[in-house]
């Protein structure tokens, strides 16, 4: 059964026609992901479906009695009132009592406790999660979500994934989270040049179908070009006969001449323009930081390698952004020091972006940084760089206020890269960026000659770009070799077991009159005394193997044998480092008598 229909709808926004005669049908059981380049009208389209905006032309037909729940990018809460009241404010009065338990349960799952807290005390990420709860408890047949995964951590994203997979109604959501699109959606709707093109299946199927469509269109166009050349030669000689066949042939030539040529897909182009980076990069020495009495990082040391690819994860509020700000010098550590090398040129992509004057024209904003940039392909002007970032000549002379949120992020990213950084600090770079930009950014980072440290909740992005994961949790930064999928395998079940421990301890305290004193077992004591030497030996072994690999670069049999040994030692080192963190934490708790 069709729940909702959009027929030939058009919409102009800030003098730009973002939707142009598009049609769309939503059936029962559909879970549709909306994608497209920033500024193509995704949010506008979902607002039209929800009824919060009207199209300039065309019709929206909703089945009688259909109930729609809509989550905008910025949840519509009042300035004050308890979290629970705000989440339930749009429920019918007769349902509020019955839905209260469900609302509390969802808020708890999403990591928001203290239902009586004033809504004004929530952070941006917490308000986002409260908005998700408000949308989910609303009785609905259609759930419309605009960027539900933005500004939420990995754990919350996976939880939301599970909730939406179990949701019985139809879903239409704008998101750039490709794992999310693959797991939740059974259709992908791409908005391109004002039209809506629907593909069956998740994101992987969409990619295959799009590649096939483009190949078919290219093959058809090659055939039409050949036909046109042949007919052009014939008509240039002059058609002597004016019989029926000649007239048909002339009409065919005119049809080929006036045919609609498939538009070439817009492609974002990023090129590395990094400046030279010396041997000394960033050295972190025993730093600690607390905010309002909450430890964010404790006694952490690390030397950033010149080709580092570090992904930083953790729950909201664990200090990930604060860590980047400490590297930038915007926040000082409570203890320890951060030493920056003389040749280091940091490019910092902040979560909030920089303040943009909305009255400034796009090209003038870029010219504040440089009129001309040197790239591997030669000298490029500011206007040419903007073209490469999908800002055509018309957009370049628009004021910033006319850009969408995603377009502003893309513009900010361009300005950052034009400064030729050799170390990139990226704080949630995937928020608000479209999939096309993300894909090209990932390819750019792969060839980037400097170091990259990125805070991100985007699992797909971390899998493609990270070779090491830093997890911030409860004041400790734990390092894991590999990308996000490797991290998941190594930590599978770890936190579930930890969650069960406090309960057991509580039960024990009820049965005994005095708590058991915390101490090392005999085996742990021996391991604690020798683990530093074990780690040093492993690191020396890995370095020796790397030297052998370099010396045997032409002996492929030997090279494979050495690489296998090195990989085995690296895996053993990662396990030792995890164990080192546990033992040192335990030693500290024993010393303090915790």
Under a CB-based contact definition with an 8 Å cutoff, are residues 128 and 152 in contact?
yes
User: Taking Cα atoms as reference points, which of 325, 393, 334 lies closest to residue 363?
Assistant: 393
In the block, residue with structure tokens 């390092």: 479
pLDDT of residue 257: 67
pLDDT of residue 15: 75
| 3 state SS for 493-561 | CHHHHHHHHHHHHHHHHHHCCCCCCCCCCHHHHHHHHHHHHHHHHHHHHHHHHHHHHHHCCCCHHHHHH
- Note the helical H segments in 189-292: 203-237, 244-257
Q: Residue 454 belongs to what H/E stretch?
A: strand 451-455
Q: What is the pLDDT along the chain (594 residues), one digit of tens a residue?
A: 899 999 999 999 877 888 999 999 999 999 999 999 888 889 999 999 999 999 999 999 999 989 999 998 888 888 888 888 888 888 888 888 888 888 888 888 887 877 788 888 887 778 888 888 999 888 899 999 999 888 778 888 888 898 899 898 999 999 988 888 999 999 999 998 899 999 999 888 888 888 787 777 777 767 667 766 766 666 666 555 444 456 666 666 677 667 666 554 444 455 555 567 878 899 999 999 999 888 999 999 999 999 999 999 998 888 999 999 999 999 999 999 999 998 999 999 987 766 788 899 999 999 988 888 776 667 778 888 888 787 888 889 989 988 887 788 888 888 888 888 889 999 988 887 888 888 878 888 888 888 999 999 899 999 999 999 999 999 999 999 999 999 999 887 666 544 434 443 333 333 333 444 557 677 778 888 888 888 878 878 888 888 887 777 677 677 778 888 888 888 787 778 767 777 776 777 677 665
Look at residue 300 in the predicted model and tell me its pLDDT: 94
200, 82, 68: which is closest to 135 by C-alpha?
Answer: 68
Amino acid 403: pLDDT: 86
Give the SS3 label for residue 385.
Answer: helix
166 token code pair:
């179990």
Nearest Cα residue to 456 out of 309, 354, 295 = 309
Determine the pLDDT at residue 114.
78
**Residues pairing with 68 in the sheet:** 142
Asked if residues 199 and 34 have their Cβ atoms less than 8 Å apart, the reply is no
- Here the tokens at position 415 are 């300005």
Coil, strand or helix: which one is 285? strand
């Amino acid at each position: 059964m069709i729940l909702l229909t959009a027929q030939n709808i058009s919409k102009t926004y800030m003098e730009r026609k973002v939707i142009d005669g598009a049609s769309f049908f939503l059936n029962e059981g559909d879970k549709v992901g909306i994608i497209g380049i920033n500024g193509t009208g995704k949010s506008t389209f979902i607002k039209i479906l929800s009824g919060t905006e009207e199209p300039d032309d065309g019709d929206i037909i909703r089945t009688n009695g259909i109930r729609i729940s809509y989550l905008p990018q910025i949840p519509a809460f009042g300035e004050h009132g308890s979290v629970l009241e705000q989440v339930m404010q749009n429920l019918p009065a007769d349902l509020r009592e019955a839905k209260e338990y469900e609302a509390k349960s969802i808020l708890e799952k999403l990591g928001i406790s203290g239902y009586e807290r004033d809504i004004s005390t929530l952070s941006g990420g917490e308000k986002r999660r409260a908005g998700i709860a408000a949308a989910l408890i609303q009785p609905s047949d259609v759930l419309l979500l605009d960027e539900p995964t933005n500004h939420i951590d990995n754990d919350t994203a996976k939880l939301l994934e599970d909730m939406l997979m179990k949701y019985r109604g139809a879903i239409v959501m704008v998101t750039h989270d490709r794992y999310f699109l693959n797991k939740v959606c059974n259709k992908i709707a791409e908005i391109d040049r004002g039209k809506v093109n629907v593909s069956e299946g998740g994101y992987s199927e969409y990619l295959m179908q799009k590649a096939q469509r483009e190949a078919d269109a290219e093959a058809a166009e090659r055939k039409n070009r050949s036909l046109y050349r042949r007919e052009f030669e014939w008509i240039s000689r002059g058609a002597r006969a004016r019989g029926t066949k000649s007239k048909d042939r002339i009409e065919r030539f005119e049809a080929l001449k006036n045919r609609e040529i498939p538009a070439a897909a817009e492609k974002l182009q990023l090129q590395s323009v990094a400046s030279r980076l010396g041997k000394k990069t960033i050295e972190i020495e025993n730093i600690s930081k607390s905010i309002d009495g909450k430890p964010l990082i404790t006694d952490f040391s690390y030397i950033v390698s010149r080709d580092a690819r570090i992904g930083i994860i953790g729950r909201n509020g664990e200090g990930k952004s604060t860590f980047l700000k400490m590297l930038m010098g915007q926040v000082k550590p409570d203890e320890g020091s951060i030493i920056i090398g003389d040749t280091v040129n940091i490019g910092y992509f902040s979560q909030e972006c920089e303040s943009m004057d909305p009255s400034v024209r796009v090209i003038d904003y870029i010219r504040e940084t440089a009129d001309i940039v040197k790239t591997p392909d030669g000298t490029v002007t500011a206007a040419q760089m903007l073209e490469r970032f999908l800002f055509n000549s018309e957009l370049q002379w628009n004021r910033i206020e006319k850009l969408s949120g995603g377009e502003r992020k893309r513009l900010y990213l361009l300005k950052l890269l034009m400064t030729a950084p050799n170390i990139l600090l990226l704080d949630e770079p995937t928020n608000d960026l479209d999939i096309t930009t993300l894909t090209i950014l990932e390819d750019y980072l792969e060839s980037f000659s400097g170091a990259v440290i990125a805070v991100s909740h985007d699992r797909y992005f971390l899998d493609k770009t990270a070779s090491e994961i830093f997890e911030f949790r409860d004041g400790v930064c734990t390092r894991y070799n590999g990308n996000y999928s490797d991290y998941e395998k190594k930590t599978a079940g770890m936190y579930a077991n930890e969650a069960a421990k406090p309960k057991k301890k509580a039960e024990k305290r009820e049965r005994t009159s005095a708590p058991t004193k915390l101490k090392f077992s005999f085996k742990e004591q021996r391991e604690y005394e020798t683990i530093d030497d074990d780690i040093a030996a492993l690191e020396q072994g890995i370095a020796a193997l790397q030297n052998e690999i370099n010396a045997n670069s032409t002996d492929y049999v030997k090279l494979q044998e050495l690489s296998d040994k090195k990989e085995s030692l690296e895996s053993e080192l990662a396990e030792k480092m995890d164990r080192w963190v546990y033992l040192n934490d335990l030693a500290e708790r024993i010393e303090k008598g915790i």
